[in-house]
Structure formats: C-alpha cells, structure tokens
C-alpha cells in the first residue's frame, strides 16, 4: 500500500480487506451497548466504545458476548427505566455473556445494587469509563471515587457523521433544591480550554462540522479554573477553528448567564442564537425555594434578550409540583408559558429524591395533583411547539440530512442546521432539485408545510 493520501483500493485489495473484516467480525467478540439518559451520558458511552474497539458492536443483545448498560439515575422515572432495561437485557442475554452496568444509577446506589442485582456481572459508576476494557478483562467491578471527565480519549461518535456532543465539564457547584446530581457527580470540574479545542479540531479533521457543547451547567464553565468568563473565552477560540460550520451551547444556568455571554453568542457568526436555559419555574417564591439564584425579573430580562436576537431558538425546562407549589404559583407558571414564546419546552413532574433539600420540605404536592398540572401545561406546550414549527413554513432554511426518516423510506430524515439532533424534532425531505442527497451533508431547503409535528421540505441546493 503506498502512502499518498488519496490512494484508491483495487478490487482484489478491497476483497481481501472485506474478507479480513468479515473474519475479524466473525472472530471478534460482540458488544451491545445501551446508553440511557442525557447527552452527557452518551459522551461517556462513546468513550467506552472507543476503549472497546476490538469488539464488534451489534444491534442484537441476544448475540452479544458483552452487554453494557450506561444508566441514568437522577429522577424516579429514569431510575425505573434503567432497572427495566437491566432486567430485559438479562432476559435476552446469551449463556456465558457478561452483563455490565455503569453510570449514574450504579454510582448513586452502588452498595444496594451490588447486593440486590444478582443478574448483573460487573458494576461500575461514573468514574471509570476509560477503564471499561480493564473492568471486562479482569472481571472486577470498579468504583473510582472521582467522576471521570474525558480529556484526550479517542471516543466513537454515535448517531451522526456530521454532529458531535462536546462535554465541557462534569459535576456542578449549584445547589438546586430538587437535584441529586451534585451528590453523585461531585463539584464542578471543567476541562481545560486546550483540551476542548483539541478535541473539536481532531473531530473536524474526521469530517464533523456541527457541535453541541454540553455539561450540567455550561455557563459556569471554567469557574473552577479561575475563569469568570470561561465560556466566552471558549466561544472565541472555537470560532477560530477552521472547518467548523455550526455550533450551539446547551444547559445555560440563569444565575451564571451574563448579558455579556448572551451578547457574545448573539454576535458570534458560528454559534447559533440557540439558547437552552432550563429555568424550572417563574414564580419568585418557587425560584427562591428551588435555590435557582435568579428571580423572575432577571430571568425574563435574559429570555427577552435571547428572543430578540435574529433567528433565535429558545429551549427551556420546567419542574411541576415542587413542594410548596400552590395552585397560584402553578397558574403563574402556566400563564407565563402561554405568553412567552418558547420553541421547545421539557416538562418534568417533581421527583422526590433523597439527599436533596426538597426531600425534607413540608407541603409536598399530591401526586394526582402533580399529574393534573403536568397535563394542563403539556397542552400549552404542544401549542407553543406547533406555533414554532408553523413559523418556519414558507422560509428558506439550512438542514442536515440524517438518514432514512422515522416515517419510512419515502422520506429522508433531517434536522434544521441550528437544531440539536434528536431533541428538537425531525424534518422530512420528499422532493429535491439536487440529484443525490447524502447523509451528513447540509442543504438549503424551502419549507412547504407541517405534517403532524414534522416539517416537509424541498431541497433547492447543496451547501456543504
């Protein structure tokens, strides 16, 4: 094989490679991985895949030699789902396979789960993702006390050939009343600017051009490194990276999101005016009780600044039914969501989590009442989402083709370039002026109509 970069394999060499690959696939051990929870967990799962390159990743647990479940453990519903997946994987696994459980659920309940879950062979938490190969080889469970934070690992990006999640930090210094995450993920621990920039630069070399920067609290990025405006510094550095075409930041925190940061995002030619800031509530009494660090007036000032920016996209999240939330506070929130145009809203029913401040609060809201309130606000949120999607009709926008759509082979599935994959919705492509549409490529399209909760578009030209 010569070493010039654009060498083309001839048929015989291709055949040998494919045979070798088939041989490798036949001989190599088979791995099935389930990544539950948030995009931060997904990044850790990708680190594990990077460490297990000798395995062939399969999409059938029944044939896997090793099954890994990267669990989520932050609220009741997520914990239930993690346990359900553990039991269902155990039910499907083949004889002599290894069942490995990792992540937040095991980190949070390591003693109990190791005692109770006899179905599981190996346990690890959130401290050893980069040691998963050793854990499997030695068949020893492991719980390193510090939370793992990737630095230079060669992870396997999943789900896209153009987009990657970039983790900025682990842990959190906030003290939200309802949240157990700081208990098992620890204090804020940021990557260095160099480490983040290096990873983005290396991923751009591999063809990725669209990035979502994530953490528990992104607007506090770098504060543990003595940087008050760490995220602003990072934005400035990332903007200089050649080949990066699209970027957004998720998980801004109200009390650490300055007007200067919002303005930096608005002025950026690279970062979309995409603002993801979970505010959790809007009543001053509840925001204080939840220890969110910013009141109603400040939050509305931030949201208005964000909304007034060009092509702005606002995503937020609310917790419904926190202790001491009276009908008045709930109605205040409901009216606010009716009036303020959010593009996407995530709703969480309050989950009573031990070792949180809210757990010891009095005047807990009755479960049925919480369900009733969630249903009420869900109706309003559905109208908001539709309004946001309808506002795209007739526009010319940029999309990225992601593959076959969830509606089947008659449509290609895509996302708006500024959207985060998976969570902001799917766009259906059924007509194109461009002959061949390629997965991972970006195109300009005309938005024709809204079908259910999906936009239908016609491709007009190739962008990149």
Angle, nearest 10°, between helix axes 193-205 and 230-239? 30
| Max Cα-Cα span within the chain | 74
Residue 29 burial (CB count, 10 A): 15
Q: How far is the CB of 255 from ligand SF4 (least distance, A)?
A: 9
- The answer for residues whose C-beta is within 8 angstroms of residue 336's C-beta and 6 or more apart is 282
Q: Residue 172 — φ and ψ, nearest 5°?
A: -160, 140
Q: What angle do CA 6, 7, 11 make, to 5 degrees?
A: 135
Beta-strand (E) ranges in 153-293?
163-167, 169-170, 189-190, 210-214, 246-249, 271-276
Judged by beta carbon, residue 101 or residue 104, the one nearer ligand SF4 is: 104
Which residues are near ligand SF4 by CB under 6 A?
172, 174, 176, 179, 181-182, 216-217, 253
How far apart CA 313 and CA 385 sit, in angstroms, is 11
CB of 112 to ligand SF4, least distance (A): 22
- Cβ proximity to ligand SF4: between 253 and 330 the closer is 253
**Closer residue to ligand SF4, CB minimum distance, 174 or 312:** 174
Closest alpha carbon to 414 in 424, 314, 206:
424
- Quote the least distance from Cβ 356 to ligand SF4, whole Å: 9
Closer to ligand SF4 by CB, 174 or 190: give it: 174
Q: How far is the CB of 80 from ligand SF4 (least distance, A)?
A: 20
Smallest separation (angstroms) from ligand SF4 to the CB of 183: 9
Query: Burial letters for 399-424: b for 16+ Cβ neighbours within 10 Å, e otherwise?
Result: bbbbeebebeeebbbbbbbbbbbeeb
The smaller minimum CB distance to ligand SF4, of residues 253 and 275, is found at 253
* C-beta closer to ligand SF4: residue 280 or 442: 280
Q: How far is the CB of 288 from ligand SF4 (least distance, A)?
A: 14
């Amino acid at each position: 094989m010569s070493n010039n970069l654009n060498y083309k394999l001839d048929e015989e060499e291709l055949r040998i490679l494919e045979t070798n690959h088939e041989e490798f696939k036949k001989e190599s051990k088979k791995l099935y991985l389930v990544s539950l929870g948030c995009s931060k967990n997904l990044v850790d799962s990708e680190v594990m895949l990077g460490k297990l390159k000798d395995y062939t990743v399969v999409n059938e647990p029944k044939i896997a030699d090793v099954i890994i479940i990267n669990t989520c453990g932050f609220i009741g519903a997520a914990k239930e789902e993690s346990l359900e997946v553990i039991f269902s994987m155990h039910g499907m696994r083949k004889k002599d396979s290894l069942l490995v459980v990792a992540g937040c659920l095991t980190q949070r309940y390591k003693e109990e789960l190791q005692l109770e879950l006899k179905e599981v062979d190996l346990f690890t938490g959130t401290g050893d993702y980069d040691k998963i190969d050793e854990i499997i080889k030695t068949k020893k469970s492991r719980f390193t006390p510090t939370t793992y934070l990737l630095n230079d690992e060669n992870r396997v990006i999943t789900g896209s050939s153009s987009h990657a999640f970039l983790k900025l930090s682990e842990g959190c210094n906030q003290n939200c009343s309802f949240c157990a995450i700081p208990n098992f993920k620890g204090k804020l621990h940021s990557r260095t600017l160099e480490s983040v920039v290096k990873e983005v630069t290396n991923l751009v070399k591999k063809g990725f051009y669209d990035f979502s920067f994530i953490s528990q609290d992104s607007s506090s990025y770098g504060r543990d490194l003595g940087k008050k405006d760490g995220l602003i510094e990072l934005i400035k550095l990332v903007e200089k990276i050649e080949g990066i075409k699209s970027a957004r930041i998720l998980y801004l925190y109200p009390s650490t999101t300055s007007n200067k940061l919002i303005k930096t995002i608005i002025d950026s030619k690279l970062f979309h005016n995409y603002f993801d800031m979970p505010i959790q509530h809007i009543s001053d009494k509840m925001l204080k009780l939840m220890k969110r660090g910013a009141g109603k007036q400040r939050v509305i000032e931030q949201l208005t600044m964000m909304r007034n920016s060009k092509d702005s996209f606002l995503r937020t999240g609310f917790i419904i039914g926190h202790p001491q939330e009276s009908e008045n506070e709930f109605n205040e929130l409901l009216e606010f969501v009716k009036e303020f145009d959010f593009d996407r809203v995530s709703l969480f029913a309050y989950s009573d989590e031990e070792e949180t401040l809210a757990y010891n609060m009095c005047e807990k809201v009755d479960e049925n009442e919480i369900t009733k309130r969630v249903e009420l606000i869900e109706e309003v949120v559905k109208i908001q989402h539709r309004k946001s999607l309808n506002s795209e009709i007739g526009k010319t926008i940029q999309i990225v083709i992601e593959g076959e759509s969830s509606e089947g082979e008659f449509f290609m599935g895509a996302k708006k370039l500024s959207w985060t994959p998976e969570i902001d919705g799917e766009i259906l492509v059924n007509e194109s002026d461009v002959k061949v549409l390629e997965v991972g490529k970006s195109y300009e399209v005309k938005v024709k109509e809204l079908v259910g909760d999906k936009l239908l578009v016609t491709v007009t030209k190739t962008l990149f």
